[in-house]
Structure 1
Amino acid sequence: MRPEARDELLRLNRAFYQSLAGAFADTRRRAQPGVRRVVERIPPQATVLDLGCGHGVAACLLAERGHRGRYLGIDSSESLLAIARARLEAPWVEFAHADLAAPNWMALPGGRSSRFDWVLCFSVLHHLPDARLRRRVVREIAQALAPDGSLAASVWDFQHSARLGRRVVAWEEIGLTAEDVDPGDALLDWRHAGHGLRYVHHFPSAELAGLAQAAGLKVVEEFRSDGEGGRLGLYQIWRR
């Protein structure tokens, strides 16, 4: 993918989650079943890094379960982070602004030496355009994982959703063409309390597992959950 096209898609998604944060949060008030399934296995004292934490759904779920280990949630949307901070304030919780697509995103509170027992990456990787960028980001994420830690990643398996299928729009809507993007890329519109567009990439199971393997991790579990028929989300648990 050309850098110009990649950067345009990154700008598109940043603008969506910044300008439509409230509308997005309204449609995601409760954790998805797959998120619950993962969070329920996190020990109360485990340290957690939540990438793309949004408006704090996973953090609130952890709090409901009596979590007390360090939690750091990062997101590229200041608007979503403001909602998260308003929802949950606790001594063990910290929300910080960082953009995974930026080279310096790992300059996190606590420094690059921070290692976490659990890294959560729910509904994030499919918003990163360009296979090279995705590989780089996952390699960096792996550096934040403790030696015996677990990384939970989920992506939208939107090809199983007739509803989302109807929301695919032409690349010309944003001045691009099919030749500018990669196989599996799509542009989805948004129609709740405003109009917006989001870039997404469809991951077959093997492609998502390939990202783990390229970063020196292995898939130890895979399941599908959420949405229509419980198949909208593809989840994988990665370990060293």
Structure 2
Amino acid sequence: MDRVGDSSEGDAAVVFTDADAAALYDLVNPWDPERWPGDGFYDELVRAAGSVLDVGCGTGAMLRLAREHGHRGRLVGLDPDPAALARARRRADIEWVEGTASDARWDAAFDLATMTGHAFQCLVTDAELAASLAAVHSALRSGGRFAFETRHPQARAWEDWNPSAASDVVDAAGRALRLWHETESVIGEVVTFTGTTAAADGTVLRVDRTRLRFPAEAVLDAFLADAGFVIEARYGDWGGGPVTGTSREIITIARRR
């Protein structure tokens, strides 16, 4: 299942709180390297790195599982969502920091930085991209790697974000819910869409509006080069295949020069 709605901007009804939304995200998007190839891809990188900064860590599932599986190095999760971090902080032997990618203030502290779940696409403006990449670059040791993925714009994933693709779930509180996404606009590389959480009878409980950027490879590479990165690997799928005319993903491992 593709992970749509990796970041939200307000519009929340009080009847379905931020804490509820964070718990629901974990339910709908469980971190499972055995089941999801993308999770397995990052899990392997994290296990091999002595120190890891997970930018946009959300509820911290990736780092928590790494620690559970025996990772003994430094693990730090960075995210701007207090409700998500409240869930992450259930694991106290990992550092959890509130902030955005551009807020990162570490200096040559990590072997690996990650942005999973298409979180990189939440960097919408040129200024956000440049500042965030500069901060991640500074946080990495010389030769450190930055791994992330974006949806390939050629796949036009936003065309599948509509109420006809709604899903039904029962949350931890026992509430029957219906979830769907709906694209509002596509302007250049930026897609604006809403994510709706409703009761089973259709009563809307919460609407979150999100903007995501869908940069092409050439755009990504120009920003990475300007920030001092070189491309170490580039894949079009989680099995390690090349980017082709039918790829749905642009998966990048960049190295700090």
Q: TM-score, normalised by structure 1?
A: 0.74
Does residue 200 of structure 1 match 2:194? Answer: no
In structure 2, the CA distance between the partners of 1:203 and 1:170, relative to structure 1 (3 Å rule), is same
The answer to which structure has the higher helix fraction is: 1
Unmatched runs of 5 consecutive residues or more in structure 2: 1-6, 164-180, 199-205, 239-245
Correspondences of 1:26-175 after superposition (within 5 Å)? 26-31=27-32, 32-43=36-47, 46-86=50-90, 88-90=91-93, 93-101=94-102, 105-107=103-105, 112-122=106-116, 123-157=118-152, 159-161=155-157, 162-164=159-161, 167-171=181-185
- Any conservation in 2 of the 1:45–1:67 contact (CA below 8 Å)? no
Which runs of no fewer than 5 residues in structure 1 stay unpaired?
1-11, 172-177
**Percent of counterpart pairs with the same letter?**
19
User: C-alpha distance in 1, partners of 2:11/2:81?
Assistant: 9
Larger Rg: 2
Matching residue's letter, 2:184: A
- 2-structure distance, mates of 1:26, 1:232: 24
Query: Which residue of the partner structure matches residue 212 of structure 1?
Result: 224
Q: 1:221 to 1:47 in 2, by over 3 A?
A: same
Shift of the 231–34 alpha-carbon distance from structure 1 to 2, 3 Å rule, reads: farther
Question: How far apart, in 2, do the equivalents of 1:151 and 1:211 lie?
Answer: 13
In structure 2, relative to structure 1, the CA distance for the partners of 1:41 and 1:58 (3 Å cut) is same
TM-superposition CA deviations, 1:179-201 (whole Å, max 9, x none): xxx62101122134532221111
Aligned mates of 2:124, 2:98 — CA distance in 1: 20
Taking only aligned residues, the RMSD between alpha carbons, in angstroms, comes to: 2.8
Q: d(CA) in 1 for partners of 2:22 and 2:143?
A: 35
Alignment equivalent of 2:192, drawn from 187, 191, 212: 187
When residues 16 and 47 of structure 1 are mapped into structure 2, their CA distance, relative to the original with a 3 A threshold, is farther
- The 1:45/1:99 distance shift into structure 2, 3 A limit, reads closer
SS of 1:42 mapped into structure 2? helix
Question: Offset of 1:14 from its aligned partner?
Answer: 4.2
